[in-house]
Amino acid sequence: DPAVYEAVFEAALAADERIEPRDWMPDAYRASLVRQIAQHAHSEIIGMQPEANWITRAPSLRRKAILMAKVQDEAGHGLYLYSAAETLGVGREELLDKLHSGRQKYSSIFNYPTLTWADVGAIGWLVDGAAITNQVPLCRCSYGPYARAMIRICKEESFHQRQGYELLMALSQGTEAQHAMAQDAVDRWWWPSLMMFGPPDDESAHSAQSMAWKIKRHSNDELRQRFVDICVPQAESLGLTLPDPDLRWNPARGHYDFGPIDWDEFREVLRGNGPCNAQRLSQRRRAHEEGAWVREAAAVYAAKHGEARS
Ligand code: FAQ
């Protein structure tokens, strides 16, 4: 009886229990999780590109080793997340197909260029910082495999965030030119980082339902505000300025007020018209084609050793 299944599912949510892959779940819950987890997985692997751009030009062996490790971590996050999506009955090939044909999204943030070395620092501090703010509550997501993947990912993202902060600190306290380079990077990455949290609550199509299902635990605007509040004192310690003349403490709210976000820019980036959308997708498609022989070799190897599942 479907009504009984539905009641068991609702009771598990109410008791804050995890929904696991073999449990009954509404089709729309499954579809929404696939949508969000796939978008998240795609962001992790597309997000490798802007930073990988600087691996060959890192200013020292130490910085290069750190950056390579970070970019590799993002690939690992993609793998955890594609695996989490697979537990919902979708195939990895199908998800990648949808990414490559533009039918599934990835985060707007990765459509901006990394123009200087300081951008590596700004991405670590702001982009990983925003990612952690958004993802720590996802560790309590109602879907077990996604929640568990988030725990590992958040630990690694925290390390990435400190890496970026330390890099920016070194530049900020360096020569005048280095300080200016750090400031320029923060000026360019600040507003796009705020857009990572998604549209304002009154325009967020999925928030209400995702919160009722305990996939999301906080609204887009709540998390965006939390992120701004965290960043202001960190910017002060860094000796850098956040590019917003309206940014000021509001004692009545107990939060920092901030200026208006350019939602037209956000919508344009989502439509494919950001500065790097075309480049990111074509590089991803090329990497996939060039990796075909690896997938084939792995499949042949698995078959030879009697491990093929299909
Ligand atoms: N970019 O109704 P809502 C990282 C879409 S961190 C592109 O509010 P929802 C780490 C949204 O999908 C980045 N699209 O949606 C890293 C929906 O479109 P749809 C990845 C966006 O799901 C760091 C429509 O707009 N993190 O990768 C964006 O309730 C450094 C309406 O929006 C995650 O994905 C956007 N910024 O809330 C890697 C976290 N915002 O699906 C490398 C998990 C919204 O109907 C280097 N995801 N959209 O076609 C989430 O928490 C949620 O999905 C939100 C959006 C908060 C992103």
Beta carbon of 207 within 6 Å of any ligand 1 atom: yes
**From the alpha carbon of 207, which atom of ligand 1 is closest?**
29
Ligand 1 centroid, distance to 108 Cα (angstroms)? 8
Q: Are the C-beta atoms of residues 215 and 33 closer than 8 Å to each other?
A: yes
Which DSSP letter does residue 19 get?
A: B
Please, is 306 exposed, middle or buried when counting C-beta atoms within 10 Å of its C-beta (0-12, 13-18, 19+)? exposed
Q: Please, which pLDDT band fits residue 115 given cuts at 50, 70 and 90?
A: very high
- Nearest residue (CA) to ligand 1, atom 42: 47
Beta carbon of 131 within 6 Å of any ligand 1 atom: yes
Ligand 1 centroid, distance to 194 Cα (angstroms)? 12
Query: How remote is the C-alpha of 303 from its chain's centroid?
Result: 35
Ligand 1 centroid, distance to 139 Cα (angstroms)? 16
Could you report the predicted ipTM of this complex, rounded to two decimals? Answer: 0.98
**From the alpha carbon of 36, which atom of ligand 1 is closest?**
53
Q: Which residues pair with 165 in a beta bridge?
A: none
**Across the chain, where does the E strand assignment appear?**
248-250, 255-257
In our burial notation (b when 16+ CB lie closer than 10 A, e otherwise), range 85-113 reads bbbbebeeeebbebbbeeebebbbbbbbe
Beta carbon of 182 within 6 Å of any ligand 1 atom: no
77-107: per-residue pLDDT in tens?
A: 999 999 999 999 999 999 999 999 999 999 9
Q: How many CB atoms lie within 10 A of CB 127?
A: 26
Beta carbon of 120 within 6 Å of any ligand 1 atom: no
Ligand 1 centroid, distance to 246 Cα (angstroms)? 26
Beta carbon of 32 within 6 Å of any ligand 1 atom: no
Q: Which of 195, 200, 131, 125 is nearest to 165 (CA)?
A: 125
Q: Please, which pLDDT band fits residue 307 given cuts at 50, 70 and 90?
A: low
Q: Read off the pLDDT of each residue in 144-164 and give the average, rounded to a whole number.
A: 96
Beta carbon of 85 within 6 Å of any ligand 1 atom: no
**From the alpha carbon of 223, which atom of ligand 1 is closest?**
56
Q: Which of 206, 182, 226, 159 is nearest to 34 (CA)?
A: 206
Ligand 1 centroid, distance to 3 Cα (angstroms)? 32
Q: What is the DSSP string of 106-159?
A: --GGGGS---STHHHHHIIIIIHHHHHHHHTGGGG-SBHHHHHHHHHHHHHHHH
Q: Read off the pLDDT of each residue in 239-250 and give the average, rounded to a whole number.
A: 98
Q: Which residues pair with 143 in a beta bridge?
A: 19
**How far is it, in rounded angstroms, from Cα 183 to Cα 119?**
10
Q: Please determine, for residue 308, whether its predicted confidence score (pLDDT) is greater than 80.
A: no
Ligand 1 centroid, distance to 280 Cα (angstroms)? 17
11-22: per-residue pLDDT in tens?
A: 999 999 999 999
Q: Read off the pLDDT of each residue in 274-297 and give the average, rounded to a whole number.
A: 97
Q: Please, which pLDDT band fits residue 306 given cuts at 50, 70 and 90?
A: confident
